[in-house]
Structures are given as structure tokens and as C-alpha cells.
């Protein structure tokens, strides 16, 4: 598949507020990206199959009532669950950014240890310390290359992106051995870290929300479904970097571009 033939479906609802930035990032790389209100997908279910990439962008879908991402997740799985499953079965990638990550977890698509789960296997809980966090953080890439969204990034590389959330603390049930399975399946993609790459070890502000094992992003066992709390679309261009005016020779792009470039090249190779 050629770059210009790739179509990206970006879902929005009331409260979504990062769809335009996400669309611009994809289009900067030469693919066709479209924003659809979820009701458009419900009315024309075959529309989803016409795309190669599905994205749930950041924001506060439906005001994050009940739990962050819960209402959108349950609505989607109830209305177009079969179409979502068919999309996954074809090996087409799904990305969830911030609120989108919360949606994927609430929908049972991540961690996805046994395929699509009827109930959430993990949670993105209220930040510790509590409060809304809008700040730049460092991320260490932990994946060996199976994740379709980060396979262009060397393992151990340190990236910088912003977070903007109040419920981003990744937690797992204590009574289940899910953590060892995540490690064994190479599903941990990003961990919060210090600038030099050393683990944050839960310490604020390097770990902005108290996430277990400093987890900032995970993928499913196949590496085709990826969710992360930081915002790559807000770290795409150099002028989005917080310190670019102090740089003598600022880069043309930020680290967020690597994620969009990875998934586009993955689709070009696979399809």
C-alpha cells in the first residue's frame, strides 16, 4: 500500500479536544485522515472497514463521567463491537492517546491478554498526587520492536512528550498475575523516566501520576493496539517543544513524529 492510499479514522464525541492536532500530524506525513463523530460510524458501520488505522484521540469524552473513557468505550463496544473485532482481526492498528488510552482499557481492548475482554483488565485511575497534570515528561522506550507504533524507535531511547490528564495512573489487579504476563508478552512500551533514562521509580514529577511500574503506554500481545497517556500529537513539530526558543538549532520535528511515522510505515509494509 502506498502512503497516499492510507486512510485514518479519528473518532470524536462531545468532550474530545485533540482530534484536529492528531489529524494534522497524520496529514503532514502524507496520509488521508478524517474526523468522524461516533454517530456517523454508527449510522454507516461499513465506514470503519474503509480505513486502515483507527484513532481515539485525547480529551474528555462525554465529560469523563462515571470514569474517564468509560461511556465512550461501552457505547462503542455495544454498537459496533463486531466491526471493531473485524478491524482487529484484519491486523489493522488502533491507537488511543490519553483519553483514547482510557477508552481502550475500558473497552477491554487493552491489555488484551486474552483477546477482547468483557470487563476491564486494568484501570487508569486518579493521579497520585491527585490533580490535573499538564507538563512535559520523559519516556523510556521498553519494547523490543513488536509494537507497530514504535518499531522505528530504538529500545532504551528516551523521548519527551507532554501529559495532560487527571486520571492517568495505570494500575493492575493485585490478585492476578497480569504484570508478569505483560512483561513476558513484551507489552510494556513506554515507562516514565528521568532525563537520563533512569526509571522514575514512582517519584513525582518524573512519574506524573503514580502509575504502577512507571507505565506510560502499553500494547496488546500482537502489538497492533497501542495506548499511551502522553500526547505525541502535541510533540510533533519543533515549535511545540517548551524550550525551542532557547535552542540554537531546533530540530524540525519533536519526538511525537516517531509514533506516527512508525505506524504509517507499518501499514505500508503490511497491506
Q: In terms of Cα–Cα distance, which of 43, 41, 53 is closest to 12?
A: 41
> Measured between alpha carbons, how far is 120 from 102 in angstroms, rounded to an integer?
10
Active site residue 141: no
> Measured between alpha carbons, how far is 113 from 162 in angstroms, rounded to an integer?
28
Q: Active site residue: 51, 141, 165, 231, which one? A: 231
Active site residue 233: yes
Active site residue 231: yes
Q: Active site residue: 106, 142, 167, 233, which one? A: 233
CB atoms inside a 10 Å sphere around CB 1: 12
Q: Active site residue: 18, 98, 147, 193, which one? A: 98
Phi, psi for residue 47 in degrees, rounded to 5: -60, -35
Task: Tell how many helices (H) and how many strands (E) occur in the chain.
Answer: 6, 11
Q: Which residues have a catalytic role annotated?
A: 98, 231, 233
Amino acid at each position: 500500500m502506498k502512503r497516499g492510499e492510507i486512510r485514518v479514522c479519528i473518532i470524536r464525541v462531545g468532550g474530545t479536544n485533540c482530534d484536529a492536532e492528531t489529524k494534522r500530524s497524520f496529514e503532514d506525513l502524507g496520509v488521508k485522515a478524517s474526523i468522524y463523530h461516533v454517530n456517523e460510524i454508527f449510522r454507516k458501520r461499513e465506514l470503519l472497514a474503509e480505513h486502515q488505522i483507527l484513532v481515539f484521540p485525547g480529551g474528555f469524552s462525554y465529560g469523563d463521567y462515571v470514569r474517564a473513557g468509560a461511556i465512550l468505550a461501552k457505547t462503542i463496544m455495544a454498537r459496533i463491537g463486531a466491526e471493531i473485532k473485524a478491524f482487529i482481526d484484519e491486523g489493522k492498528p488502533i491507537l488511543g492517546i490519553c483519553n483514547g488510552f482510557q477508552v481502550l482499557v475500558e473497552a477491554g481492548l487493552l491489555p488484551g491478554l486474552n483477546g477482547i475482554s468483557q470487563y476491564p483488565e486494568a484501570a487508569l485511575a486518579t493521579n497520585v498526587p491527585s490533580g490535573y497534570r499538564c507538563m512535559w515528561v520523559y519516556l523510556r522506550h521498553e519494547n523490543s520492536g513488536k509494537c507497530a507504533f514504535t518499531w522505528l524507535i530504538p529500545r532504551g531511547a528516551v523521548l519527551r512528550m507532554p501529559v495532560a490528564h487527571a486520571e492517568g495512573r495505570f494500575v493492575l489487579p493485585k490478585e492476578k498475575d497480569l504484570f508478569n504476563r505483560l512483561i513476558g508478552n513484551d507489552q510494556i512500551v513506554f515507562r516514565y523516566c528521568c532525563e537520563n533514562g533512569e526509571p522514575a521509580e514512582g517519584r513525582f514529577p518524573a512519574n506524573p501520576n503514580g502509575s504502577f511500574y512507571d507505565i506510560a503506554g502499553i500494547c496488546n500481545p500482537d502489538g497492533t493496539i497501542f495506548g499511551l497517556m502522553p500526547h505525541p500529537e502535541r510533540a510533533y513539530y519543533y515549535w511545540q517543544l517548551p524550550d525551542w526558543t532557547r535552542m540554537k538549532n531546533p530540530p524540525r520535528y519533536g519526538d511525537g513524529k516517531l509514533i506516527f511515522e512508525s505506524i504509517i510505515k507499518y501499514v505500508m509494509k503490511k497491506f
